[in-house]
A and B are shown apart, each in its own frame.
Chain A
Amino acid sequence: MLEPMMYEGGVFKHNLVEELVEDLGGYILQKNIMQTEVVLIMLVPIKDTRLVEDMTKKLLGELTRAPLSGTEIAVVAPTLAYHHLPHPDCDIAEFLRRKGAKTNMVGLARGVGARTCQISAHERELINEHDVAVYVFGNFKHCITESKPKLFEGIDIPIVVTGAPEIDTEDIPNADVYVGNLGRIAHRLRKGEEMFAMDEVVYVVGKIFDVEREEIGKDPLSVMPPRVKKEIENQVPAINEVLSPLPITLRLKGLKVKLDFDEFHEQISEVSFVEGLKLKDIADIRRSKMKNFILVDIKTKSETGFLI
């Protein structure tokens, strides 16, 4: 069992943490170096977290649990106009990222208006490539309960909705959870109740992942996504030249490889494991709607018949 954790500390000697985690059989998911600070998002074997904690203390860093690590979340706004950005959409995305998630902002082309809002097939498929969709809506109950649910049509992943009024989740068709007290805000979210509301968003998203992970536990994936990530990094050298912030993004049931599909999908499907398998045997490799990237969907044990 691996525990998602986040290390924050100085650049000096941070490689000791990386090495320790890898020696313990854990994985480094993301490494961000910001001048003299470094943030590591990693998966640590749960029984060895103590060792990482000790190392962190020695390096005067900080170790926190990052429950959203290894997930990709879509933050969906009706459009990318100044009515929604940078507050509150970016603030909500920021809060999700702080807990380890990778967020993508999706601005719909025609998501505005009550009667006139719509979502296109392309946008729908793009959102469905994520683990959870967080829809950031506005101030009026009528709008959220009556007009906007049109935008959830065809979305197969769990949907979290935010807005200003207090609404029961049952009143919003197709939404999984509703979080109030946000809504359309034109200033930076830093007041108590706004911060609580954003914490609530993080909490409900975390809960959704707990349930999802439990479901996955019943029929586990043939291979864990972080292991595939490591093998791709070792066997496909081109990935080291990708400048995107997270060249291989983990999702709950697979990964997104930020290489051109047409050029690299064969190389990716040929990635091999010491057990004598190739990635194409245990995963579906398809084209992503996002910039022609490669999506890897790992098959479950019930499909392949084995676990590695």
Chain B
Amino acid sequence: MEDETIIVESPEEVGAEIYRRVIIDVLSDLSLGRVLLKVRVFVDVTEPVFIFIGLRKKGLPSVKLSDFADLEIGGYGKPEVIISLNKEAYIPQLLNKLWERYGRGNILHKDRTTMVVETPDYMTEVDLLGDMVIDEKVQEINDRIVDAMLRIIPEGFRVRYHQLTDEYILFVASEDPIKQDWKDRAVSMRDQLLKEVGLNA
């Protein structure tokens, strides 16, 4: 990542530089390098406080069944929906969702790329199935971001305050109760950053 992407401020220069390295390592370990657009961090161990602001790129859309499969109604007189898969990657998630909705006995996994769903309401279900969300990328990325936060902040800082939205993550951590000053500082850092990229808080 370029220099402008991650900036760590601290009264101690060496500490800030090494911390920048830690953040780069953690983000790349969790493949978050392309998820966070800009990162600003403020650390002062004398207070002690750790503030992390990360701007997120626009998230990936959720994956629907119709994105990777074709759906059709079964042969004449058969109350079933036939799913023909173009990609095998999502089969585990898909099966789980189908089992949950129709019951195991009503799902027939004929071969690797074909599934048959037996349902009396096949006429309406075929549209509904097409819109079924199979993989929620946003949720997974949120989990990874939170994991990264816990890895990045100093271990002893167990009192935390955070905001996680589609646009940014704001994290304040300390070993003492979080002061209003720190929150204000974090919010102003966040606003400044949003202004830099032309978004409004």
Contact = CB atoms under 8 A, between A and B. Distances in A.
Nearest to B27: A186
Contacts of A84: 155
B154 interface: yes
Nearest to A79: B155
B144 to A, nearest CB: 14
A165 B12 contact: yes
B58 interface: no
Interface of B: 10, 12, 14-15, 18-19, 21-22, 25-26, 29, 43, 45-46, 48, 151, 154-158, 175-176
A25 interface: no
A117 B10 CA distance: 22
The interface residues of chain A, by DSSP majority, are classed as loop
Given A115-B175, A186-B22, A165 B156 contact: no
A138 B43 CA distance: 13
Interface string A166-189: 100000000000000001111100
Contacts of A185: 18, 21-22, 25
Interface residues on A, range: 20 to 34
Of listed B14, B19, B43, B48, residue having the most chain A CB within 10 A: B14
Contact of A183 (B18, B26, B156, B175): B18
A155 interface: no
Contact of B18 (A79, A82, A164): A164
A164 B155 contact: no
8 contacts: A79-B155, A81-B155, A115-B175, A116-B156, A139-B15, A141-B12, A185-B18, A185-B22
Contacts of A147: 45
A83 B14 contact: no
A165 B25 contact: no
Nearest to A112: B156
A143 interface: yes
A113 B151 contact: no
A114 interface: yes
